[in-house]
Amino acid sequence: MVTILTGCLGMPKGVKPVDDFDVSRYLGKWYEIARLDHSFERGLTRVTAEYSLRDDGGINVLNRGFSTRKNKWEEATGKAFVVESEDIGYLKVSFFGPFYGSYVVFELDQDDYQYSFISGPDTSYLWFLARTPQVPDELLQRFIDRASSLGFDTQSLILVDQGGDAN
């Protein structure tokens, strides 16, 4: 069991978390631009992630998306904590009690914190988040190229429909 749980806190080969990470600058609302498919997000559009500080030093996580099939908003709340040190973009996140998974920020707009490339424990978990619902084509292509070079299946990427206001 320990091996299984520890494996969930690993990262794909070649993925390295960013240095000079500042949790306080990372807080706030992010729009999901692209992702690999998983059952917990399947069919959701207008997906956002919102991060805020917890009293215990961790981070509150609120993921929200619109289910077109159910015609309603769905939310998942979780918590995240730094794994190694405050200045490394390597967190563990949990939505299900004591079970944590990796949240590895492997590229980040260090100047303005306007975009972030995130991996989970293996190459089946991948997200591209931005502070705005749309990004320039060049930035999307940069994400695809970088993720592909790290072994992610970018042919299976879902480009998230952010149509309308994601509030």
pLDDT value at 2 more than 50: no
Whether the per-residue pLDDT at 1 is higher than 50: the answer is no
How do residues 130-156 score in pLDDT, each as one tens digit?
999 999 999 999 999 999 999 999 999
- Asked whether the predicted pLDDT for residue 49 surpasses 90, the reply is yes
Highest mean pLDDT among 9-13, 96-100, 113-117: 113-117
% the chain with pLDDT above 70: 93
Helices (H) and strands (E) counted in the chain, each on its own, are 3, 9
Return phi, psi of residue 100, to 5°: -115, 150
Q: What is the pLDDT of residue 164?
A: 61
**Does the pLDDT value for residue 120 go beyond 60?**
yes
Mean pLDDT of 88-97: 92
Contact yes or no for 77/59 (Cβ under 8 A): no
- Sign of dihedral through CA atoms 51, 65, 83, 105? negative
In tens, the pLDDT along 51-72 reads 999 999 999 999 999 999 999 9
Kindly give the residue spans of alpha helices, DSSP state H, lying in 8-165. 23-26, 137-149
User: In the prediction, which pLDDT does 8 show?
Assistant: 78
pTM for the structure as a whole:
0.91
How far apart CA 130 and CA 34 sit, in angstroms, is 10
Cβ neighbour number for residue 160 with a 10 Å cutoff = 23
Residue 163: the pLDDT is 85
Q: Is the pLDDT of residue 87 over 60?
A: yes
pLDDT beyond 60 at 167? no
Instruction: Give the whole-number percent of the chain exceeding pLDDT 90.
Output: 86
